[in-house]
A and B are shown apart, each in its own frame.
Chain A
Amino acid sequence: MNALIAKDVTKIYSEHTALDHVSITIPEQTIFGLLGPNGAGKTTLIRIINQIINADSGEVLIFGEKLRPNHIEIIGYLPEERGLYKKMKVGDQLLYLAQLKGLSRHDAMARIKVWLEKFEIKDWWHKKVEDLSKGMAQKVQFISTVLHEPKLIILDEPFSGFDPVNAQLITEKILELKANGSTIIFSTHRMETVESLCDHIALVNKSKKILEGPKKQVKESYRSNTFLIEHRGNHFTLPAEKYEIKEQTKIEEDLFSTTIKAAEGIKGNQVIRDLIDITELYSFQEKLPTMADIFIGLVKADGDEALRKHLQEV
């Protein structure tokens, strides 16, 4: 089953269109990367899912059901702009937020204890938030997001503000939550996060979705038949109708790294066959596009298109 389906969601503010017929499908128990530059409409979409605002048209289904007020109890949301009541104690704060999500006081108490233990911060219960460091407050906020065991967890830039150790800790917890059946939506610009954690991605740019699918498939489809080789001796020529040498750098004395783009239809084995006779091959790998490459490439292309359109109109 799909955890979330958005169909043709459109949101128009008086001056601009925040979302323009955006449709996405998020399979259950996956980590879904919602990518896009600032102002692309990610936050608007997230707010619509959280029912903070309503879409002008289109619909959102959560686990097959049309969005209803009580769905907020199965969603956990960590906004990009973090904040807690500064004067409130950690324990009281978590209790309050959990109760707002529909947990009973008793259940909330028990779960808070478990989570504080998990993060080894049991003695923080009576600390006021204003006395915590930024990283400490982030942990509390993360706990508040997942306390009610939401089936859908929405994390907006979850790693900002965490040091590498805590980021690792949070990553572990996220994977744990996924293993326990939760679906996680990541909204982020951090491509390394996407690369390592996400199963599915969608790319939003200028209020429109421009790409969506399983990460592996997306990367597949952006293969450009480019290979990276390391070799000794830099004097070789390849038939120009089959290969294009993109880049060559010297690694050390007589050891070079070269990027070769092969013509369509030429497989890796063929490339090796062609090279083996003319140079001493040290290493060979297909150069797959990184998510960052795809992201930047698409956003730039989109920009150019808009620019072209703009010029045409002028």
Chain B
Amino acid sequence: MNKVWLIMQREFLNRVQKKSFLITTILVPLIFPAVIGVLVYIMKKEAESAKADTVQVVDESGKFVFENSKRYTFVPLSMPLEQAKKAYNETKDFALLYIPPFDLSKPEGMMIYTKENPSIEKVGNLESILEDRIRDLKLETYKIDQETLKSLKVSVSLKQINLSDTGEEKSSNSQILYFLGFGLGILIYMFVLIYGIQIMQGVIDEKTSKIVEVIVSSVKPFQLMLGKIIGIASVGLLQFTIWIILITALSTGVLGYFGLKMPQQQAMEEVAKSMDNQEIKVAMEQQSSKATELFNNFFQLPLGKIAFVFVFYFLGGYLLYGALFAAVGSAVESMQESQQFQFPITLPLLIGYFGLFMFILRDPHGSVSFWLSVIPFTSPVAMVGRIGSGVPDWQLGLSMALLIGGFLFTTWIAGRIYRVGILMTGTKVSWKVLIKWFLMKA
């Protein structure tokens, strides 16, 4: 054990002391807030500098009263369309809106003239302004006054409650669960792949630099493999911990600097300011109470359990695949040569990754989700995707036990291939050769 510790220590220190480690560990978290910061900055600048588009209006129906908003300034023209078109062409205005006289039951013939192709969004905006007005006019013809109209507008949001077997009620939120599952699943997928390949690279380096024969004359090949896998895992854990801390701190800092709350909230506030509209205020209050609820719901989740499960599958998945990557590294002599084996061993991981989107996040309790989160090769990604939605204890237990069994199994297989592979050079390796090595006596 002492020797495994020595090997682990070397692997760890050797990587952590490298400049590249320092750079990636610091740069990656900087990139996130930097990207967010730049985007927010651009958005804000744009919002500040954006001038309202001027829309000239020829309203022959006489039914419309346009209110200027932050986005549009309406200029009513009292001239025939042909003349207006000529006049419009000489201005730099965004559009010319033409409304012919029309029957309320059949609002047709409205046109918009622009110099450039307008975005779908802008056309849609204008359309909804027109639709709203026409609907109001229609309602008026049914003798419904403004007050009644206002009171007609309601907003409903379903509060989700999970009823447990014991009848205990827990509020839940599928949105939070979705993003949590999504985020954790991707993290595990990335971690396994990135550090698995590092293991493979490390083994190839040892093999091609020929140091390996000296090392295995001091320690068992299995100890070397184990030390390497654990050493690299600790590098990964350290790096991820630093990333999470830095990203959280920096993101909070950047958002705070720009004085931002949630983007939605900001948009609502702006609208409210410009319109000073009672109903929107109400909606906003609803929205912000919803945000608080999201927040509360998040902390109502069994976070301790989720964290534990995440770390467990994080390590379990890494160990399971790490051993396989080590075996591949021991068999080949270059990264290129490793390609043919890399795909088959990462395929189950990939299946877990796609399963996360196709089944687990959509239907965390379906039978495909169950199997994906129980089979050890896919369970690391799948189970953390499911865990927030509440997984029965027996399923979690089964999955964990299978994962432990799974990595013991892959480590055993990998160890047998590894001990032969690291000393073999100049062999053209195929699956058949790997099987032969696996079966070989020590």
Contacts and interface: CB of A to CB of B under 8 A. Distances in A.
Contacts of A13: 440
Size bracket of the A interface: 20 to 34
Most chain B CB within a 10 A radius of its CB, from A75, A100, A101: A100
B423 A83 contact: no
Question: Which of B18, B214, B440 gathers the greatest number of chain A CB atoms within 10 Å?
Answer: B214
A100 B6 CA distance: 7
Interface in A52-100: 52-54, 56, 69, 72, 75, 77-79, 81-88, 96-97, 99-100
A93 to B, nearest CB: 9
Count class of interface residues, chain B: 20 to 34
Interface stretch (B114-122, B157-165, B167-175, B215-223): B215-223
Contacts of B423: 47, 52
| B interface majority secondary structure | helix
Contacts of B10: 96
Contacts of A100: 3, 6-7, 215, 218-219
A91 to B, nearest CB: 13
A210 B219 CA distance: 32
Nearest to B223: A100
B210 interface: yes
A166 interface: no
B436 interface: yes
A78 B442 CA distance: 22
Contacts of B209: 83-86
B342 to A, nearest CB: 24
A79 B6 contact: no
Given A52-B216, A54-B442, A72-B218, A83 B3 contact: no
B152 interface: no
A83 B6 contact: no
B92 interface: no
B217 A81 contact: no
A99 B6 contact: yes
B213 interface: yes
B255 interface: no
Nearest to A85: B211
B218 A81 contact: no
Nearest to B9: A96
Contacts of B215: 97, 100
B214 A79 contact: yes
B14 interface: yes
Listed residue (B6, B206, B211, B440) with the most chain A CB atoms within 10 angstroms of its CB? B211
Given A53-B442, A54-B441, A54-B442, A82 B218 contact: no
A113 to B, nearest CB: 20
A69 B222 CA distance: 14
B211 A83 contact: yes
Interface of B: 3, 6-7, 10, 14, 18, 205-206, 209-220, 423, 436, 440-442
Given A13-B440, A88-B14, A100-B219, 14 more contacts: A14-B436, A51-B217, A52-B213, A52-B217, A54-B441, A56-B441, A83-B214, A85-B211, A87-B18, A97-B214, A97-B215, A97-B218, A100-B3, A141-B214
